[in-house]
Structures are given as structure tokens and as C-alpha cells.
């Protein structure tokens, strides 16, 4: 399993009325890190031939993040087969290494040409193993 990480700093725009990171922002970050991972690993041909759609999303909130916190978003593919893969995202406070949220998402690979779900190729599967 290869993991991919990005680091972000919580800004005022990320906060809700309780001065914690808004739940909607966590969901956006889960999508952002997944997309960045795909773009970092996929070939130009893969990027032009395929895209991913989200089928199912679960997120568990463990601890709050606040203004100025530096966060580490770590993602990896838990399993892959057929048309879908299961992607994990873990969000940590970089300074304390405390887990703030974890997410499991089910993604489906779609052919750009046919605009229909397509089997995950071995070439794509090996990008993330």
C-alpha cells in the first residue's frame, strides 16, 4: 500500500460558528486529497481516458481542528477490484499526531469515451499498491 500526503493550514474560511473546522470542509479535503493522489500517480493517458466518481462516503470525526492548526492528510487505497476501489483518508494534527478524522470512500472508475463505469486496469491498480 502506497500512501500519499498533503499538508494544509487551517484558515478562518475553514471554521464554523463554533470556531472549529466545519464538517463540510473535511469532506472537501477528502475529495481534494483523493484527486491530488490520482493526478500525482496517473499517466497523461490515464487522465485523459478515465475519471472517478464517488459512490459512498463515510467520515468519522474524532477531534476538532482550529485556526492555525497544520494538518496532515494521508490517503491510500485499501482495496481495489472490478469497477471500484475503497480509499481511506486520515486527517491528523501535524504537531500532535492526533487523529482528527478518518474517512472511507468507495469510488468507481469511469471511461471518458463511453461515460460508463469500467473495470480498473492492472496498470491503474499497480499505481497504488
As a whole number, the mean pLDDT across the chain is: 97
Q: Hey, where are the domains in the chain?
A: 4-127
pLDDT category of residue 119 using cuts at 50, 70 and 90: very high
Architecture of domain 4-127: Roll (3.10)
Give the per-residue pLDDT at 129. 84
Number of neighbouring beta carbons within 10 Å of residue 101: 23
Q: Kindly list the distances between the CA atom of residue 110 and the CA atoms of 24, 50, 64, 107, in Å, as whole numbers in the listed order.
A: 25, 6, 35, 10
pLDDT category of residue 103 using cuts at 50, 70 and 90: very high
pLDDT single digits (tens) 64-98: 999 999 999 999 999 999 999 999 999 999 999 99
pTM: 0.94
pLDDT category of residue 31 using cuts at 50, 70 and 90: very high
Assess whether pLDDT exceeds 80 at residue 23: yes
**Cα 77 from Cα 89, distance rounded (Å):** 9
Average pLDDT over residues 19-31: 96
Amino acid at each position: 500500500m502506497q500512501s500519499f500526503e498533503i499538508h494544509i493550514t487551517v484558515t478562518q474560511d475553514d471554521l464554523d460558528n463554533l470556531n472549529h473546522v466545519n464538517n463540510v470542509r473535511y469532506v472537501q479535503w477528502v475529495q481534494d486529497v483523493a484527486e491530488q493522489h490520482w493526478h500525482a500517480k496517473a499517466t497523461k493517458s490515464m487522465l485523459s481516458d478515465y475519471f472517478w466518481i464517488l459512490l459512498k462516503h463515510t467520515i468519522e470525526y474524532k477531534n476538532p481542528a482550529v485556526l492555525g492548526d497544520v494538518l496532515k492528510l494521508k490517503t491510500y487505497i485499501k482495496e481495489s477490484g472490478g469497477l471500484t476501489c475503497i480509499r481511506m483518508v486520515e486527517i491528523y494534527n501535524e504537531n500532535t499526531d492526533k487523529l482528527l478524522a478518518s474517512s472511507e470512500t468507495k469510488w468507481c472508475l469511469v471511461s471518458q469515451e463511453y461515460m460508463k463505469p469500467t473495470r480498473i486496469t492492472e496498470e491503474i491498480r499497480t499505481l497504488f499498491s
